[in-house]
């Protein structure tokens, strides 16, 4: 049990540390890499909860997909010497004020929620269960969101092709 | 200590019990992790070095040469000597590079290779992790390796490196899709993504025989697209030495270059091992449904020899590709993936789903 707690704090501190670093760094590609560490550590948390499917989705979609796309676009558009300028003092103070205010607002709300360990039997997240849920139309089914997202992706794909064609 | 070359599960369990008797469960887990890590590091180094040796020998054989033959018998110590040389070489610092990312990149590539290596079942009861989503896990962690390649190319601040990285990024991202889909056909056949389950399902025949035509099609697609995914063979335009010197690792020297080089060969081992496990039965001996005597005779060959035999066969095939076919252009490469392999794969998956529904395959 103590090893679990230790691992949890390890992953959480990695997440918080690199999340802060990715905001405060002034080189854009480093920010993307710090974001990668945050996402991988989140996947580690899922692995710790023995929910391997979500962890693998996290790795494949966020770490292997979105971060790669971000890095790709940085590679195409930015030069290595490029650094962001330090923001103006007014903006820094304003941003800090809003962040602290938001935290002060959020913490009491989170603490007022009674978190307790539930005693529902764990669901087996096997391939069959996930596949059935994904195409289920009844309760807890994901058939409608699945189809809506498919249509949305198709629309954006067609739009991307139209933009890339440049009216030839 | 119960030890059998045919089934390692009792061996690993006895180690686990032994450790739990001497120390607390938490420390036992840590010790096991450390042991497994050491075993994998050792395997990584030895397999990587000897794959380099095998590559040089195969290449020499195909070009009617002898290859390395001075250091040790048949030159067996050649790559070890090369590794020692690389260790002692000076690491050249690059001016105006992004130092942090430049140093980080080889480790990302290596870590991604390690993570997928962990999921491979080497023999019965001899695998580090066996998730119920094994195939998907390997696809997910192997997609992280490309980040190391992209970072290496960018942070070197060199045009060769950047072009190499862009090419290999585009290539890996597109071919990952085909690798995933071709593995998916066998997942549909076997009804599980767990590697141990996939191997067990081939106890009465390997999927490439049981799944007949669609399995053969997806095996061929797997071979082509995985060769492309590991930046090898006719698809090595990311490091096309005649135009880009060495692609994304042009600026790396000494042991950091060796990290990239080793990871490349270990990735070749990984895709061959995955292909052998999914299509050719992994550590499962050659069984034919109904032939009891034949199956029994085949069981005498230890599973670990079956596994490495099949893997080496696939590695040999992939090496032959490299020394047989001319290099593709980038547009030919993308055309092959998006206009041929992907549509073939998608149609193949529909056919497989239909076959499985109707039961038209050897059970």
Q: How confident is the model at residue A18 (pLDDT cuts 50, 70, 90)?
A: very high
Q: What is the pLDDT of residue B14?
A: 81
Closest-approach residue (CA) in chain A for B144: A64
Q: What is the pLDDT of residue A48?
A: 85
**Does A59 sit within 8 Å of B143, measured CB to CB?**
yes
Closest-approach residue (CA) in chain B for A75: B154
Q: What is the pLDDT of residue A168?
A: 59
**Ranges of chain B whose pLDDT falls below 70:** 1-4, 238-242
Domain ranges of chain B: 7-88, 92-358
Distance between CA atoms of residues B181 and B99, nearest Å? 38
Is the pLDDT at A32 greater than 90? The verdict is no
Interface membership of B152 toward A (CB under 8 Å) = no
Which residue is associated with the tokens 């369990």? B13
Report chain A's mean pLDDT, rounded to a whole number. Answer: 85
Number of Cβ within 10 Å of residue A112's Cβ equals: 7
Q: Report the greatest alpha carbon distance in chain A.
A: 64
Q: What is the pLDDT of residue B272?
A: 92
pTM beyond 0.90: the answer is: no
Is the pLDDT at A59 greater than 70? The verdict is yes
Q: What is the pLDDT of residue B240?
A: 66
**Does B132 sit within 8 Å of A126, measured CB to CB?**
yes
Give A80→chain B minimum CA distance, Å.
Answer: 7
CA atoms within 13 A on the CB side of B87: 6
Indicate the fold that domain A1-84 takes in CATH.
1.20.120
Q: What is the pLDDT of residue A154?
A: 94
DSSP label at residue A35: H
Q: What is the pLDDT of residue B288?
A: 77
Task: Report how far apart the first and last C-alpha atoms of chain B are (Å, whole number).
Answer: 38
Closest-approach residue (CA) in chain B for A130: B133
Q: What is the pLDDT of residue B249?
A: 76
Which sign, positive or negative, has the C-alpha torsion B357, B274, B334, B149?
positive
Q: What is the pLDDT of residue A14?
A: 93
Q: What is the pLDDT of residue B329?
A: 80
- Between A121 and A42, the more confident residue is A42
Domain ranges of chain A: 1-84, 87-115, 125-168
Query: How large is the average pLDDT for residues A81-98?
Result: 84
Contact between B284 and B306 (Cβ < 8 Å): yes
Interface membership of B101 toward A (CB under 8 Å) = yes
Interface membership of B192 toward A (CB under 8 Å) = yes
Residue B126: φ, ψ to 5°: -120, 65
Among B239, B135, B230, smallest CA distance to B189 is for B135
Among A138-142, A150-154, B88-92, B238-242, name the one with the lowest average pLDDT: B238-242
Interface membership of B95 toward A (CB under 8 Å) = no
Q: What is the pLDDT of residue A15?
A: 93
How far is C-alpha B110 from the chain's CA centre?
A: 12
| Angle of CA points A115, A119, A123, to nearest 5° | 110
Written in H, E and C, the secondary structure of A109-147 is HHHHCCCCCCCCCCCCCCHHHHHHHHCCCCCCCCHHHHH
Give A131→chain B minimum CA distance, Å.
Answer: 11
Instruction: Report H helices in B63-210.
Output: 78-88, 99-117, 134-142, 145-155, 159-190, 195-200, 207-210
């Amino acid at each position: 049990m103590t090893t679990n707690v230790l691992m949890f704090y390890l992953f959480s501190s990695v997440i918080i540390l690199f999340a802060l670093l990715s905001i405060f760094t002034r080189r854009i590609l480093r920010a993307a890499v710090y974001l990668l560490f945050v996402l991988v550590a989140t996947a580690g948390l899922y692995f710790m909860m023995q929910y391997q499917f979500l962890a693998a989705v996290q790795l494949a979609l966020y770490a292997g997909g979105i971060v790669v796309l971000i890095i790709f676009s940085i590679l195409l558009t930015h030069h290595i010497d490029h650094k962001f300028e330090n923001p103006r003092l007014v903006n820094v103070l304003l941003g800090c004020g809003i962040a602290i205010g938001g935290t002060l607002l959020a913490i009491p709300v989170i603490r007022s929620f009674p978190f307790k360990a539930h005693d529902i039997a764990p669901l087996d997240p096997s391939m069959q269960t996930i596949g059935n849920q994904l195409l289920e139309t009844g309760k807890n089914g994901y058939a409608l969101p699945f189809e809506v997202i498919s249509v949305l992706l198709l629309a954006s794909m067609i739009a991307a092709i139209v933009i890339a064609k440049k009216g030839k | 200590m119960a030890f059998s070359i045919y089934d390692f599960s009792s061996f690993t369990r006895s180690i686990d019990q032994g450790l739990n008797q001497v120390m607390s469960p938490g420390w036992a887990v840590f010790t096991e992790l450390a042991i497994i890590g050491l075993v994998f590091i050792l395997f990584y180094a030895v397999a990587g070095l000897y794959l380099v040796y095998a590559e040089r020998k195969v290449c020499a054989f195909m070009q009617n040469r002898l290859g390395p033959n001075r250091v040790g018998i048949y030159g067996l110590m050649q790559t070890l000597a090369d590794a020692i040389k690389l260790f002692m070489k000076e690491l050249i610092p690059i001016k105006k590079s992004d130092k942090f990312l430049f140093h980080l990149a080889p480790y990302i590539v290596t870590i991604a290779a390690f993570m997928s290596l962990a999921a491979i079942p080497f023999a019965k009861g001899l695998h580090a992790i066996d998730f119920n989503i094994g195939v998907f896990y390997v696809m997910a962690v192997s997609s992280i390796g490309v980040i190391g390649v992209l970072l290496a190319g960018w942070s070197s601040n060199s045009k060769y490196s950047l072009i190499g990285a862009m090419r290999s990024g585009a290539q890996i991202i597109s071919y990952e899709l085909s690798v995933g889909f071709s593995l998916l056909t066998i997942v549909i056949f076997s009804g599980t993504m767990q590697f141990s389950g996939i191997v067990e399902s081939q106890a009465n025949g390997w999927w490439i025989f049981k799944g007949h035509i669609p399995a053969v099609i997806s095996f061929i697609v797997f071979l082509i697209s995985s060769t492309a995914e590991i930046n090898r063979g006719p698809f090595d335009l990311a490091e096309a030495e005649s135009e880009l010197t060495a692609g994304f690792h042009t600026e790396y020297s000494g042991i950091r270059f060796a990290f990239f080089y080793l990871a490349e060969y270990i990735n070749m081992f990984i895709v061959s091992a995955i292909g052998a496990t999914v299509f050719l039965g992994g550590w499962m001996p050659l069984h034919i449904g109904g032939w009891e005597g034949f199956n029994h005779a085949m069981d005498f060959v230890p599973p670990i020899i079956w596994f490495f035999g099949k893997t080496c066969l696939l590695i040999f095939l992939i090496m032959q590709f490299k020394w047989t076919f001319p290099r593709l252009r980038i547009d030919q490469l993308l055309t092959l993936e998006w206009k041929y392999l992907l549509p073939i794969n998608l149609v193949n998956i529909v056919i497989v789903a239909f076959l499985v529904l109707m039961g038209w395959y050897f059970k």
